[in-house]
């Protein structure tokens, strides 16, 4: 088991959020010709699609009187019109028309933000646009791979996004928060290995020759009707900065080679999670459950989506209560256990990113 190493007091606090990074702004189907608004990293953003289908993100405040552009309407080609006085901007945020005057003030612009569409998501870069390299979009290839099927939803989490990252990097909480679905005693009894490299952290846990919890027993019986017996269970948590966590999860008939790489006698899923800070005390939690079995069965897709949503609902209650307790005890610093090793490395990576931006200040 990976031991906890000493950390700075900063690591024990809730940090800010890096800006020079890709965050998910929306599911791709959410962004349409009709403008929408979403707060990203404390800043309201207006999003819409041009006539040729390209996603656009502008600051949701008109240059003139700060009226929300998301309340306006899209015009021909790539333009959007302010709902208050009719000023029109193009997709780069530059004013192209003003009411009652031919001369356009050269300062009449609103910030635009780089956008990349990938893995069924619209990703946004809120920091220095010259650093917005599409190759830095976190890997979530299971989301649109033909070898995987699944669906997901969005949770509006009433807490700082780092509390959700903590929650996902240490799954021993399942034993207590999700006792009736995916939790079991073996979670906190089993060893785990934590590794880190660059902007990634991986936590690996195997549980051998155990009873499958209800959620996984149902999935085994979906693939292997009438299944009975012990299983080997795995959880491989992979974090990629600043807020994406893919969790390779599953069970296989005990002793059939899953730990060595043969998962053919089991069921394998990926819990796909990507967190976007909304404010310092709220976040957009985009998630999906993808599987590599029974790919054409829409019933299983819907059942899994709804079942995982119910599990995450239990997390929502706990995380909201935790945020309220943090707000009520502003001088309290977190303490760490061995199980916090993954989350601690996540915070160190975020510290490094914030320091590079000159913004390393713990949040209140």
Residues 6+ apart with CB under 8 A from 197: none
Segment 215-237 shows an average pLDDT of 93
Look at residue 3 and tell me whether its pLDDT is greater than 60.
no
pTM of this prediction? 0.90
What pLDDT shows up at residue 75? 95
Look at residue 24 and tell me whether its pLDDT is greater than 90.
yes
Q: What would the pLDDT profile of 144-156 be if each residue is shown by its tens digit?
A: 999 999 999 999 9
Q: Tokens for 197, please give them.
A: 């490299």
Domains of the chain in sequence order:
22-126 (2.102.10.10), 135-356 (3.90.380.10)
Segment 134-141 shows an average pLDDT of 97
Segment 88-98 shows an average pLDDT of 97
Number of H helices, E strands in the chain: 6, 17
Q: What would the pLDDT profile of 319-329 be if each residue is shown by its tens digit?
A: 999 899 989 98
Look at residue 136 and tell me whether its pLDDT is greater than 50.
yes
Look at residue 45 and tell me whether its pLDDT is greater than 70.
yes
The band of 347, judged by pLDDT with boundaries at 50, 70 and 90, is very high
Count other Cβ atoms within 10 Å, centred on residue 125.
Answer: 23
For 39-46, the CB contacts below 8 A with 24+ separation are 39/278, 39/279, 40/124, 40/126, 40/276, 40/277, 40/278, 40/284, 41/17, 41/126, 41/276, 41/277, 41/278, 42/277, 42/278, 42/279, 42/280, 43/126, 44/68, 44/70, 45/113, 45/124, 46/70, 46/80
Look at residue 183 and tell me whether its pLDDT is greater than 60.
no
The band of 12, judged by pLDDT with boundaries at 50, 70 and 90, is low
Range among 191-200, 214-223, 239-248 with highest mean pLDDT value:
239-248
The band of 335, judged by pLDDT with boundaries at 50, 70 and 90, is confident
In 3D space, the residue among 10, 126, 9, 43 whose CA is nearest the CA of residue 360 turns out to be: 10
Look at residue 1 and tell me whether its pLDDT is greater than 90.
no
Look at residue 76 and tell me whether its pLDDT is greater than 70.
yes
Cα Rg of the chain, angstroms: 23
In 3D space, the residue among 269, 306, 316 whose CA is nearest the CA of residue 149 turns out to be: 269
Answer for the pair 310, 327: CB distance below 8 angstroms, yes or no: no
DSSP-derived 3-state class of residue 8: coil
The band of 9, judged by pLDDT with boundaries at 50, 70 and 90, is very low
Look at residue 177 and tell me whether its pLDDT is greater than 60.
no
What pLDDT shows up at residue 186? 58
What pLDDT shows up at residue 33? 98
What pLDDT shows up at residue 61? 98
> Phi first, then psi: what are they for 124, rounded to 5°?
-130, 145
Q: How many CA atoms lie less than 13 Å away from 148 in the CB half-sphere?
A: 19
């Amino acid at each position: 088991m990976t031991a906890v190493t000493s950390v700075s007091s900063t690591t024990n606090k809730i940090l800010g959020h890096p800006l020079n990074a890709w965050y998910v702004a929306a599911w791709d189907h959410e962004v349409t010709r009709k403008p929408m608004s979403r707060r990203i990293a404390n800043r309201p953003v207006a999003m819409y699609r041009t006539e040729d289908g390209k996603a656009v993100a502008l600051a949701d405040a008109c240059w003139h009187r700060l009226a929300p552009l998301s309340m306006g309407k899209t015009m021909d080609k790539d333009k959007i019109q302010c709902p208050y006085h009719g000023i029109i901007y193009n997709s780069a945020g530059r004013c192209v028309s003003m009411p009652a005057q031919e001369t356009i003030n050269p300062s009449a612009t609103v910030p635009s933000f780089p956008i990349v569409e990938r893995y069924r998501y619209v990703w946004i870069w809120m920091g220095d646009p010259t650093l917005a390299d599409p190759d830095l979009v976190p890997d979530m290839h299971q989301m649109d791979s033909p070898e995987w099927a699944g669906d997901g939803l969005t949770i509006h989490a009433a807490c700082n996004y780092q509390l959700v990252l903590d929650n996902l990097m240490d799954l021993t909480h399942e034993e207590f928060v999700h006792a009736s679905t995916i939790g079991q005693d073996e979670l906190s009894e089993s060893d785990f290995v934590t590794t880190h490299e660059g902007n990634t952290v991986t936590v690996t846990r195997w549980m051998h020759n155990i009873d499958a919890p209800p959620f996984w027993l149902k999935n085994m019986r979906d693939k292997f009707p009438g299944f009975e017996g012990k299983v080997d269970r795995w959880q491989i948590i992979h974090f990629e900065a600043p807020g994406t966590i893919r969790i390779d999860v599953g069970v296989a008939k005990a002793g059939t080679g899953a730990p060595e790489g043969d998962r053919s006698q089991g069921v394998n899923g990926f819990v796909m999670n990507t967190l976007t800070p909304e404010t310092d005390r709220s976040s957009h939690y985009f998630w999906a459950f993808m599987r590599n079995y029974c790919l054409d069965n829409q019933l299983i897709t819907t059942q899994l989506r709804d079942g995982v949503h119910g599990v995450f609902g239990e997390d929502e209650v706990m995380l909201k209560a935790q945020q309220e307790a943090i707000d009520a005890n502003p001088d309290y610093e977190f303490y760490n256990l061995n199980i916090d090793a993954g989350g601690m490395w996540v915070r160190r990576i975020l510290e490094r990113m914030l320091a590079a931006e000159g913004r390393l200040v713990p949040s209140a």
